[in-house]
Every structure is written in structure tokens, then in C-alpha cells.
Chains A and B, each alone.
Chain A
């Protein structure tokens, strides 16, 4: 495994919820990243934000690690959940809230 893939794996294993995004949770630099941040804040879940714009290696590495060509990317308990479209779909259907509840990341 390459160094960057190892770093990514360590990050998603040591943080329950990780959002790889453009910009920071405080200051997203892209509308799609901002949408996911808003949803996570709305659900009241704690997450680690990783700004891929700060590190070109991360920006490319996360795409190959997840086999997913775009950013943002959401990981929950080490599992890739999806990008902006999937997160929004799961939020609208209530599945995302259920998933966080099942994982004890928010209270029911």
C-alpha cells in the first residue's frame, strides 16, 4: 500500500466520521462539499474534515483509495458511504440519520 493510502486508512480508522472535502467545515471551497457539511451539521454529528486542497497527494490519493473520482467523500466507521449525491439522497430518505443512530454517532 502506498504511503498516502496508509495515511488515509489510518484517518478513517481512527475517526468515526471523516469528510474528505475541498476547504474546511468552517469554510468550504466548493458547493458540493458545503452541502455535505450542512447535512452533517444538521444531523448534529461530529466529524473530522480533511481539506484535500491543502495536499495534492491527498486529493489524488483519496480518489484511487475509494475508486471514486470526485470530492467530497464521506466515510463512516471506516466504510465509504458516497459523495454529495448519495449523501443527499440518504439524508432525504432518512437512511443517513438511521445509519448514524445505528452506529451510536447520534442519539435516536
Chain B
């Protein structure tokens, strides 16, 4: 059995960023029938991640680092990815 898209992204993000916090939310049901939605779901995600690796990086650079790690998913099943990236626990 192959991993779900969410499971694959989780493994990749854990390997790349050693996050202190990582939450992947599948929002696909909110976009059912809308452009880019797939019948099997797993097309729209929100990711909340806190990682020390983001320290010193601009917002754009943080997002780009995540885009790079998830390039395969973004070019494939993932139509929309909302990112909330923090460098440490303090808001």
C-alpha cells in the first residue's frame, strides 16, 4: 500500500526540517467539485510547521524551502498548499 499524499509530505518535511511542530490538514473536502479538486481528495492542504531551520529566513525563503521539498507533490496531486511557517514556539 502506498502512502497517502499527506503521509508522504509528512515524511519529507520531517526529514528536511526536523520540525518542533507539524500539522498537515487536508482541506480537499472544502473544494470538492471546484477546479483542481480530485475525486480521490488530497488536493488542497494547509500545513502549520515550526522549525528552528527557518531562523534567519525571510517569509518568501521559508515558503520556497518548503516548495522545494514538496516539488513532486506540487507538480502532481497537490493543487493548493497553504503554509504557516514559524521559526520557533513564540508567536
Seen from chain A, the residues whose Cβ lies within 8 Å of a Cβ on chain B are: 29-30, 32, 67-70, 80-86, 89-90
Query: In the bound complex, do residue B80 and residue A68 qualify as a contact, i.e. CB atoms below 8 Å apart?
Result: no
Q: How far is the CB of B68 from chain A (nearest CB, A)?
A: 9
Query: In the bound complex, do residue B60 and residue A85 qualify as a contact, i.e. CB atoms below 8 Å apart?
Result: no
- Give every chain B residue within 8 A of A29 (Cβ-Cβ): 35
Query: In the bound complex, do residue B64 and residue A68 qualify as a contact, i.e. CB atoms below 8 Å apart?
Result: yes
Q: Chain B: how many interface residues by the 8 Å CB criterion? A: 14
Seen from chain B, the residues whose Cβ lies within 8 Å of a Cβ on chain A are: 35, 59-60, 63-64, 67, 71, 74-75, 80-84
- Give every chain B residue within 8 A of A30 (Cβ-Cβ): 35
Query: In the bound complex, do residue B59 and residue A86 qualify as a contact, i.e. CB atoms below 8 Å apart?
Result: yes
Query: In the bound complex, do residue B63 and residue A85 qualify as a contact, i.e. CB atoms below 8 Å apart?
Result: yes
